[in-house]
Structures are given as structure tokens and as C-alpha cells.
Amino acid sequence: MATRRPFFCGNWKLNGSIAESLALATNVRNGVATLRAADVVVAPSFTALHAVAKRLEGGSSGPVAVAAQNCHFEDKGAFTGEVSASQLADVGCKYVILGHSERRQLFGELDAAVNLKARAALRAGLAPIICVGETLAERDAGETLGRITAQLDAAIADIAEADLARCLVAYEPVWAIGTGRTASPAQAQEVHAHIRASVARKFAGVAASLRILYGGSMKPDNVRALMAEVDVDGGLVGGASLQAESFVRMIKEGS
Ligand code: PGA
């Protein structure tokens, strides 16, 4: 079985001034400075990306990289208010979170747009973190795995095997995000295994090394049980990533 390096991304959502973001990023960097067992990423708001990326780059700064929380699917043009993947690469991002359920639910983002964005990110040299997840109504109706397959297939359509190898997938059950209600390790494992099997049907070579993150009320006290599942490779963490202490403790517990 492939050994997959644990990966933790703090999704700061719409939080933080530049000064607050720099302080949080610096504390995360210092907290994980001696940790070599995991990839650690922070995803500030657009306005703080450049400053945070500069603070974290190079030297003895340790292993923390920067992600954006969204991008547009065109590289440039008349798209007022949008930010392109190449602009994100230009300010120092290595990753971009795409298709988060808040984007899907609150901003009407469709599967087709997630696919266009993932392809734009790959063109710009960014690694997409593609989010999928079912609502509570879909889970209660027994539609979880079908919904996940539909979102995943749409998101990775027309992506070549070598490019898919640069992507990550995050399983984020909508009912677990920001609710304090975490999926049980068994519930997470069922969906993560399903995602890996779906990818394997298309690209057997990539599936074993694909890192599949869990997201939805991941905390220092539940990370160990989730990470003990064979197909859970890390976390996309909202609330618990806004305090350096809890984010660092979670990464250490889970690595
Ligand atoms: P949460 O958010 O950890 O606050 O539940 C996770 C996410 O939305 O990525």
C-alpha cells in the first residue's frame, strides 16, 4: 500500500486582517517548525495571501505552504471582482481550495465550474484541493455515495492522469461543517474508500497515492481516530485552525 504523507490545511474562511493573519501564520510555522511528518498549509483570505506567503517563504521558515480559498477559471479578462489561478501563483500560493460547500451553497457554484477552476489551477501550477460532500438530506435519503461520485466525476472530468496526481480531494459532509458534529471515523472511511475506488476505476496509478482529506469539525480530540482510518490522509480544518495552538496540536496528534 502506498504511504501517503499526512496533509493538514487550515481554511481560515472570511477571517483576519493582514496583521492577524501574519500572527496566526507565524505561530503555526513556529509550532510545526520541528515537525517533518506532515505537509502543513494555511488558507488566508485573498487580502492576506501575499503577506502570509512572503512571511512563510524560504529560509528556516519550515514547511508551511499557502493556499487560496477559490479562484476564477479564466486566466485573465473582463471578469470584475475575480482572481485568476496564475495571480494566486504570482503571490506565492501553492494550493487552491475548490468547490467548498460554502461556495456551492451560498454562491451557486456548480460542478462544471469546479472542473473549469481545477483545470485553470493546474495550468497555473497550483495543486487543487477539490471538495465534495453530501447534505444531511442526501445522507438521510441514502444518496451519499451517489452524490459524491457525481461531484467527483464532474470535478475531475478531462483532467489527465499526471495532473490528477497533483490534486487532493477533501471529503466534507455539509452537515459536519462548523456544526461541531463530526462524521464518525467509520462514516468518513466509507466515503474516503469510495472516493479512492472511484478514482482507481479511471486512474489506477494515481488512486493509491491520492491524498483524501476529511473536513467537518475536525478537532485535536477527534483527529487521531479519524486518521487511524486507512483512507483518511489528513484534514481540511476550519474553526480549529483559527487558533495556532489547536491547529498545531491537531497536526501533531494526527501525524
Ligand atoms: P470546520 O470547517 O472545521 O469549521 O467544520 C471545515 C471546512 O469548512 O473546511
pLDDT digits (tens, 9 = 90+) for 145-169: 999 999 999 999 999 999 999 999 9
Higher pLDDT, 6 or 2: 6
Residue 196 CA to ligand 1 centre (angstroms): 22
Q: Which DSSP string do the residues of 94-127 spell out, in sequence order?
A: -EEEES-HHHHHHH---HHHHHHHHHHHHHTTPE
Ligand 1 contact, 218 CB (< 6 A): yes
Grade residue 61 by pLDDT with cuts at 50, 70 and 90. Answer: very low
pLDDT at residue 63, rounded to an integer: 76
Q: Which of 49-58, 71-80, 150-159, 160-169 has the lowest mean pLDDT?
A: 49-58
CA distance linking residue 131 with residue 71, whole number of Å? 14
As a whole number, mean pLDDT of residues 64-83 equals 98
Closest CA to 212 of 231, 185, 189, 230: 231
Ligand 1 contact, 216 CB (< 6 A): yes
Grade residue 62 by pLDDT with cuts at 50, 70 and 90. Answer: low
pLDDT at residue 87, rounded to an integer: 98
Ligand 1 contact, 67 CB (< 6 A): no
As a whole number, mean pLDDT of residues 211-227 equals 97
Ligand 1 contact, 170 CB (< 6 A): no
Question: Quick check: 104 pLDDT over 80?
Answer: yes
DSSP class of residue 181 equals: -
Ligand 1 contact, 133 CB (< 6 A): no
Question: Quick check: 2 pLDDT over 70?
Answer: no
pTM > 0.85: yes or no = yes
The catalytic residues are: 100, 172
Among 177, 179, 181, 223, the mutation site with the greatest number of ligand 1 atoms within 8 A of its Cβ is 177
Among 106, 172, 223, 251, the mutation site with the greatest number of ligand 1 atoms within 8 A of its Cβ is 172
| Residue 43 · residue 66 · CB < 8 Å | yes
As a whole number, mean pLDDT of residues 32-36 equals 91
Grade residue 75 by pLDDT with cuts at 50, 70 and 90. Answer: very high
Question: Quick check: 60 pLDDT over 60?
Answer: no
Ligand 1 contact, 97 CB (< 6 A): no
| Residue 77: Cβ within 10 Å count | 8
pLDDT at residue 58, rounded to an integer: 67
As a whole number, mean pLDDT of residues 131-139 equals 96
Residue nearest to atom 3 of ligand 1 (CA): 238
Residue 173 CA to ligand 1 centre (angstroms): 10
Q: Which atom of ligand 1 is nearest to the CA of 217?
A: 5
Q: What percent of the chain stands above pLDDT 70?
A: 97
As a whole number, mean pLDDT of residues 188-197 equals 98
pLDDT at residue 180, rounded to an integer: 87
- Residue 12 burial (CB < 10 Å; 0-12/13-18/19+)? buried
| Residue 136 · residue 172 · CB < 8 Å | no
Q: Which of 65-69, 84-88, 111-115, 179-183 has the lowest mean pLDDT?
A: 179-183
Q: Which atom of ligand 1 is nearest to the CA of 237?
A: 3
Higher pLDDT, 150 or 62: 150
As a whole number, mean pLDDT of residues 94-107 equals 97
Residue 142 CA to ligand 1 centre (angstroms): 23
Grade residue 57 by pLDDT with cuts at 50, 70 and 90. Answer: confident
Ligand 1 contact, 71 CB (< 6 A): no
Among 70, 104, 132, 218, the mutation site with the greatest number of ligand 1 atoms within 8 A of its Cβ is 218
Ligand 1 contact, 121 CB (< 6 A): no
